[in-house]
Structure 1
Amino acid sequence: MPDGPINATVTIPGSKSLSNRYLILAALSSRPVRLVGLLRSRDTELMMGALAALGVRCDVDPVTDTMVTVTPPVSGRFRGDVDVYCGLAGTVMRFVPGLALFADGPVRFDGDEQAYARPMKPVLDGLEQLGAKVDYLGEEGFLPFTITPPSALPSAEAMAPVSIDSSGSSQFISGLLLIGSKLPGGLRLTHTGEKTPSLPHIRMTVADVNGAGGEAVAEESAHTWTVAPKPLQLPETVTVEPDLSNAAPFLGAALIAGGTVRVPHWPETTTQPGGLLPGYLERMGAQVSFPEQNGVRYCEVTGDGSVRGLGTFDLTAAGEIAPSLAAILVFADKPTDMVGIGHLRGHETNRLAALVNEIARVGGKAEELPDGLRIEPVSDERLHGAEMETYADHRMATFAAMLGLRIPGISVINVATTRKTLPDFVGMWNGMLA
């Protein structure tokens, strides 16, 4: 716990979502691409390892460490008869299988044991509709599996039609959109489910494909996306924005503990769902501003320790920051129903169940809803310290750290799971409190 109000500036590493999308698009380009400010974390290391297995070179600059040059295969074909290890990274297990469609042999996919519970079937169904053969080595629809590319890709005479239910994750749609440009006739992808989770992440993918010279078009009212057949090529140098969702624990600390936290290099416009964070914090009672100093734009959040509950709070557009917002709302003045986040049951862990368990562990009150989570306030006197489980989930670890800002006696099991997206979370957190 801090001794008093916080006053800190915290520099956030590059966006995981953008880093792994750029790595895929660089692998699909025809010339080398230099990625500047790339996040170096377990998820991006797993992505670079997967690409290396497929014959893509990822050369890390020894001086900056966050500058990586990606060189795609000269032939344009990926290496087959290889093993890809996904760890627990959703972007790896759901984006890389599409590249196997263009490999010269079967590609075997495996991951951490906990990854076996993460659904995969929609993206694999999509690849089967494009001619791939999928052999499940365990339970159908989950890791591990082998993808055998088709002997011939779909015809160039028309866009290849694919229909999947992506209700469980926007990554299923993104994984197919990323490869649509490389199909001879392009791709027409239709989502058959009633809801589309995390639409901003899909919009991010569309923008990134177009930024690489592609032609992706969204028909969101029809739950349909088209991608024209075009050669992709990212610019020679691409700079990665800071991960705005990873800013949530730090900026949220200003509301929980009181004080001011600033994050530099905050973009004026962004496709990241985390770009919605300042508005959410403002609704909870924070003062938010965007000062500039020496040409650097900051997001500055100030709080006084009071938190405003939000009643019904639709988080469909930014579910990945739900754990951080839940930590803040534990201290709110009235109940909040966070809705539109039922798909969080299929993330690194069942995040809704995990949040209910851990809020109860410290004496708080929460319950699952069909499509979200209800958090009801209790007095600070009822809240008490505990050893918090993280479920091998980086967002649950940062959630627990946030509770420790106001509840004495909090300890976090396996805080190292934050290496998934924040390799030095502990150092950054202690630096903020210092």
Structure 2
Amino acid sequence: MNEPNHTAVVADPWPAPLATASLDATATIPGSKSLSNRYLILAALGADPVRIRGLLRSRDTDLMMNALRALGVTCREDADDPTTVTVTPPPNGVFTGCTEVYCGLAGTVMRFVPPLVLFADGPVRFDGDEQAYARPMEPLLFGLKQLGAHVEYHGQEGCLPFTVTPPKKLGSADGKPIKIRVDSSSSSQFVSGLLLAASRIPGGVLLRHTGRTLPSLPHIRMTMEDINAAGGDVTMPERGRWLVQPRDLDLPRTVTVEPDLSNAAPFLGAALIAGGAVRVPNWPAHTTQPGGLLPSMLHKFGATITLDGEPFDEINDCEMFNDDFSGTLCVTGDGSIHGLGELDMSAAGELAPSVAAIATLADGPSQLVGIGHLRGHETNRLQALVTEIERVGAHAEELDNGIAIEPVADDELHGAVMETYADHRMATFAAMLGLRIPGIEVRDVQTTRKTIPDFTGMWAAMLAQHR
């Protein structure tokens, strides 16, 4: 199975540039990966073509489009703008079976695409990068089994690679919602993947989460809002329980993707680490992205935050704007960083590596909690963060449900060749430390192409804008 080929040549290891002056920069962030891949799935589940503007073009979204193409969906990019893509569903809504899907290391592909096989005309085999074999999949596949699908494993049970065969008949015999139970403690994507497909199941679905913790609830709310915007009817009567009514899904003929607010974290965090100001245009006043929590976190570190010049010290301040408003978010720092004490990041675990980089350079300790599920991401992010923080001379400890960071004086920190573990957020974490610590080199920095096609170019451009 083939995957997209990105050919940009960057040194490996990549010497992370040191910030030698206060920043005065603007960084335009590409589209949200989370929204891009949800829109692609919902467009494929509809009846009519959908034009998606501002689509993120990265490894993960290219993998998603290739996965959909394998299932008979047409994804055609505009000749003049590759970030505008028209998605045409297969005839009669029946996906192509007897095919193969390559997931790479993309969680949204490996967890959002298998439910589409419920509506395919034959079995589909799923495979991915070697690192993807360690990522948990069993809760999603258990949900598909409860819907009547058959799953055959070709390696370790509960992991890639596997084949999903659609049920002979879909939906309950009595026309009522099918009740399914899954444990999404290790990833909210299991719930999102099932919800995205559930509207097309006759009788609908009543989905219940059985685990003790439910990470990244904002991502699930994002999924719900996107489904309902496509004409679906999904509600959460209580935390951990969702009711999906049977509906035909059709996104508006044209949708626009917001900037990826989580990918803005390294750039906005640079204002705290290097000092100065960094601006991100098109920041939405209302968003379902977990990255929308970033301004309040940076404020706790001591940053000054404005949205189009208005104070934006706390995330709820955005209510002064209407839901359709977007403006320029500006983060300003003076080079000093306050320790956070304890911060619950359960709603936005994907921000943890960027927050951890800032906390490593703070003037006091921080504990980032509610993120035990990060052990099951592209790598064990908690273990990786501890290892790399210790590598540069600071102190960190893995907790049951997070990480504790104990900074040291800047003169006790030292350069090192830092590992990325095939994880894009570990690469940006290392680049952030390199702003203040001389001699940081980053192995496989191009893993950032998973969500930011030209991270190193954007990073260099930001640093070239200074006071």
- Using the size of structure 1 for normalisation, the TM-score is 0.98
State the partner residue of 1:41: 58
**Of residues 350, 354, 364 in structure 2, which corresponds to 1:324?**
354
State the partner residue of 1:227: 244
State the partner residue of 2:216: 198
State the partner residue of 2:421: 391
State the partner residue of 2:191: 173
- Measured against aligned partners, the alpha-carbon deviations of 1:192-238 in whole angstroms (never above 9, x if no partner) come to 011100000000000000000000001233x1001100000000000
2:238, 2:23 → 1: CA distance? 42
SS at match of 1:115: helix
State the partner residue of 1:297: 327
Instruction: Write the letter of the residue equivalent to 1:391.
Output: Y
Counting only pairs closer than 5 Å after superposition, residues 33-432 of structure 1 correspond to structure 2 as: 33-155=50-172, 157-221=175-239, 223-291=240-308, 297-432=327-462
State the partner residue of 1:5: 22
1:364, 1:87 → 2: CA distance? 33
1:268, 1:75 → 2: CA distance? 38
Q: Percent identity?
A: 67
- Measured against aligned partners, the alpha-carbon deviations of 1:362-385 in whole angstroms (never above 9, x if no partner) come to 001001000000001111011000
Gaps of 5+ in 1: none
SS at match of 1:266: strand
Instruction: Write the letter of the residue equivalent to 1:6.
Output: L
| 1:340 Cα offset (Å) | 0.3
1:213, 1:358 → 2: CA distance? 45
Instruction: Write the letter of the residue equivalent to 1:397.
Output: A
Aligned CA distance change for structure 1 residues 429 and 180 (closer, same or farther; 3 Å): same
1:61, 1:181 → 2: CA distance? 30
Aligned CA distance change for structure 1 residues 296 and 214 (closer, same or farther; 3 Å): closer
SS at match of 1:116: helix
Compare relative contact order (CA 8 Å, sep 6+) and give the higher one, 1 or 2: 2
Shift >4 Å, 4+ stretches: none
1:305, 1:388 → 2: CA distance? 23
| 1:75 Cα offset (Å) | 1.7
1:334, 1:406 → 2: CA distance? 17
Instruction: Write the letter of the residue equivalent to 2:150.
Output: K
2:53, 2:309 → 1: CA distance? 22
2:371, 2:237 → 1: CA distance? 23
1:180, 1:86 → 2: CA distance? 21
CA RMSD of superposed structures (Å): 1.0
- Measured against aligned partners, the alpha-carbon deviations of 1:229-256 in whole angstroms (never above 9, x if no partner) come to 0000000000000000000000000001
- Using the size of structure 2 for normalisation, the TM-score is 0.92
State the partner residue of 1:24: 41
- Measured against aligned partners, the alpha-carbon deviations of 1:3-29 in whole angstroms (never above 9, x if no partner) come to 210110000000000000000000001
2:463, 2:202 → 1: CA distance? 54
Gaps of 5+ in 2: 1-17, 311-324
Is the deviation greater in 329-338 or in 224-233?
A: 329-338
Number of aligned residues: 432
| 1:143 Cα offset (Å) | 0.1
- Measured against aligned partners, the alpha-carbon deviations of 1:275-312 in whole angstroms (never above 9, x if no partner) come to 0000110011000000169x961110000111111111
2:238, 2:297 → 1: CA distance? 24
Is the deviation greater in 148-157 or in 184-193?
A: 148-157
Instruction: Write the letter of the residue equivalent to 1:214.
Output: G
SS at match of 1:261: strand
